[in-house]
Structure 1
């Protein structure tokens, strides 16, 4: 399976808040995705200028986007669906992610319906576990969100 890189066709997110570069692999059980963080990422200017580190909440968002993108690629939702993070549990930050690091996200589907997704993920730089979490997203349209 070749890496899928046209992520904007799968998610409603756009730069500077799109945090998935590639979907390396996927199936009904989960996916593996990547994101390279660079000096150009907006949050490094303030978190922290002297020692830039990816904020933990961005790592959670990155994993959730990767999991949602892979499910979209598999046509699990209506085209144009929006994903709303509803819960985040069992979060652990174990190692810092810095500019230049490529994060590999390993996401497991715990439950997926057309209106709700529950997933668990781990974020690695190389073989180093940097973050892990479980989350639930509600899935809907812009009309249903109003």
Structure 2
């Protein structure tokens, strides 16, 4: 996953120090879960941010689909960026 430096949200988040908004990371992961057929997500149980994602920085998303939840870990070249648990419908 990569967010190009010309994305408009970088202008306001934050001026002279652009980072990818955390909510955009969460929404992008959710959208990708829907694309691969995980459509029974009803919410987020836990989300922990460890680091920021910068413009043009490549991140890798690891998906662990388990009973009752999907745990996603996002990493960049320096380590873990985000770990989030999405709750599945029962």
TM-score range, shorter chain: 0.7 to 0.9
Structure scoring higher RCO (CA < 8 A, sep ≥ 6) equals: 2
The equivalent residue for 2:66 is 110
**How does the TM-score come out when normalised to structure 1?**
0.53
Paired residues of 1:63 and 1:122 also in contact (CA < 8 A): no
Paired residues of 1:38 and 1:99 also in contact (CA < 8 A): yes
Paired residues of 1:94 and 1:131 also in contact (CA < 8 A): yes
The equivalent residue for 2:81 is 130
**How does the TM-score come out when normalised to structure 2?**
0.81
| Secondary structure, aligned partner of 1:63 | helix
Change beyond 3 A, Cα 1:127–1:67: farther
Residue deviations 1:82-103 (CA, integer Å, cap 9, x gap): x686311221100110001011
Q: Aligned residue pairs: how many? A: 89
Gaps of 5+ in 1: 1-34, 73-82, 113-117, 139-146
Aligned mate of 2:28, from 62, 65, 68:
62
Higher Cα radius of gyration: 1
Residue deviations 1:90-140 (CA, integer Å, cap 9, x gap): 21100110001011111111248xxxxx311011112511001111367xx
Within 2, Cα distance between the matches of 1:51 and 1:97? 11
Within 2, Cα distance between the matches of 1:42 and 1:98? 14
Gaps of 5+ in 2: none
Moved more, 129-138 or 38-47: 129-138
